[in-house]
Amino acid sequence: MTANTNPALFTCRDVRVSVAGKEIVKGVDLEINAGEKHALMGPNGSGKSTLAAALMGHPAYEVSGEIRLRGEELSALEPDERARKGVFLGFQYPVAVPGVTVASFLRAALSARQGREVPVREFRLKMQESFDALDVPKDFAGRYLNDGFSGGEKKRLEIMQMLMLEPAVALLDETDSGLDIDALKVVSAGVNKASGPDTGILLVTHYQRILDHVQPDAVHVFMDGRIVRSGGPELARELEERGYDWLADATSTAATGG
């Protein structure tokens, strides 16, 4: 049998992140293959969101280690360059931009991703497809970006971007935050629709509930800046039943040889 020599879609090797001189992420190794959905779970303050922002190239963070997309090192690239390569970050708290319409923003983002000016008709057809997929009314296009949006509307817009940009890897930072049950189902359906054989997803979340709708291939538990355990979907269910304190105690005992 011939060994597979193709690199993983997205890899991190010993990624460390410091903010204002304090190390928050303390050496992360992660590998996501095309077509895989990975969940990164952990308590508040563990560094999950810091890791996602650092992988996108947040300018305020000091980052060391390797970050590769299809074997290409990304560490020296600015966030917009990473985005054009195919890395997408869905924000936990999307910023409002009064004066810029949703349609204008999406067309500019799509043109940047494709490296060409996307014709109006082609853009509108693609935008309408994403609207239909997320059950979004047509007047959404003329509203100012995230200005006065509810939490659910902001998250739907994030997933709309993902659907339209067709990234190679999507880093979704607490996409389920602030969503009611109905909005969670719609957003989860959008994530599943955007998933595909050529796309990898890292879904950052506190809770197992979104994983009832977005079935992960792997679950990683993140505590104190490190991945302390990895497993399948059953790991998320165990965390839901037993909480993070159980795993923190188990990790501490193993580290001390108790």
Return all residues near 91 (Cβ < 8 A) that are at least 6 apart: 158, 173
Beta bridge partners of 10: 32, 69
Q: What is the pLDDT of residue 195?
A: 87
Q: What is the pLDDT of residue 255?
A: 46
**pLDDT tens per residue across all 258 residues of the chain:** 344 456 799 999 999 999 999 999 999 999 999 999 999 999 988 999 999 999 999 999 999 999 999 999 999 999 999 999 999 999 888 889 999 999 999 999 999 999 999 999 999 999 999 998 888 888 999 999 999 998 888 888 999 999 999 999 999 999 888 888 888 998 899 899 888 899 999 999 988 889 999 999 999 999 999 999 999 999 998 988 888 887 766 555 444 454
DSSP letters for 99-112: EEEHHHHHHHHHHH
Q: How far apart are CA 31 and CA 46, in angstroms?
A: 20
Q: Could you give the C-alpha distances from 13 to 7, 8, 31, 69, 207, in angstroms and in order?
A: 13, 12, 9, 12, 26
User: How many CB atoms sit inside 10 A of residue 159's CB?
Assistant: 25
Q: What is the pLDDT of residue 243?
A: 85
Instruction: Outline where DSSP puts E strands in 50-166.
Output: 62-69, 72-73, 87-90, 97-101, 144-145
Q: What is the pLDDT of residue 251?
A: 57
Domains within the chain, CATH numbers bracketed: 10-92+167-256 (3.40.50.300)
Beta bridge partners of 202: 38, 171
| C-beta of residue 176 within 8 angstroms of C-beta of residue 18 | no
Residue 200 has which token pair? 């990898």
Return all residues near 135 (Cβ < 8 A) that are at least 6 apart: 186
Q: How far apart are CA 41 and CA 176, in angstroms?
A: 12
Query: 3-state DSSP call for residue 194?
Result: helix
Q: How far apart are CA 225 and CA 42, in angstroms?
A: 10
Q: Could you give the C-alpha distances from 95 to 28, 58, 119, 145, 149, in angstroms and in order?
A: 28, 15, 27, 8, 10
Q: Could you give the C-alpha distances from 255 to 15, 72, 77, 249, 252, in angstroms and in order?
A: 21, 35, 36, 10, 5
At CA 169, angle to CA 228 and CA 3, rounded to 5? 75
pTM of the model: 0.89
